[in-house]
Amino acid sequence: MPGISFDRAVDYYDATRGYPPGVAEQLRDALVATLQLSQHARLLEAGIGTGRIALPFIEKGYFYVGVDLSRRMMGQLCQKLDRRVHQAYLVCGDVMHMPAADAAFDAAIMAHVLHLVADWRRTLNEVRRVLRPQGAIVLLSDERNGQDGDPPTPRMQVQQAWSAILDELNVPPDQRRESAPHGLDERFQSHLEASGATVARTTLLTYRQSSQSVRSVAQRYQERMYSSCWVLPDDVHAEAARRLQRWINDHPNPDTMHEPSARIDAMIARWV
- The predicted pLDDT at position 173 comes to 86
- The predicted pLDDT at position 27 comes to 98
Instruction: Report whether pLDDT(266) > 80.
Output: yes
Please state, as a whole number, how many other Cβ atoms lie within 10 Å of the Cβ of residue 235: 8
Q: What is the pLDDT of residues 221-232, one digit of tens each?
A: 999 999 989 989
- Across the chain, what does the average pLDDT equal? 93
- The predicted pLDDT at position 147 comes to 57
pTM for the model: 0.92
Instruction: Label the pairing between strands 198-208 and 261-270.
Output: antiparallel
Are 85 and 62 contacting, i.e. CB atoms less than 8 angstroms apart? no
- The predicted pLDDT at position 2 comes to 63
Q: What is the pLDDT of residues 31-56, one digit of tens each?
A: 999 999 999 999 999 999 999 999 99
3-state DSSP assignment of residue 67: strand
Q: What is the pLDDT of residues 118-165, one digit of tens each?
A: 999 999 999 999 999 999 999 999 987 655 667 789 999 999 999 999
Instruction: Report whether pLDDT(262) > 70.
Output: yes
Which CA distances in Å does 208 have to 19, 157, 213?
A: 9, 18, 14
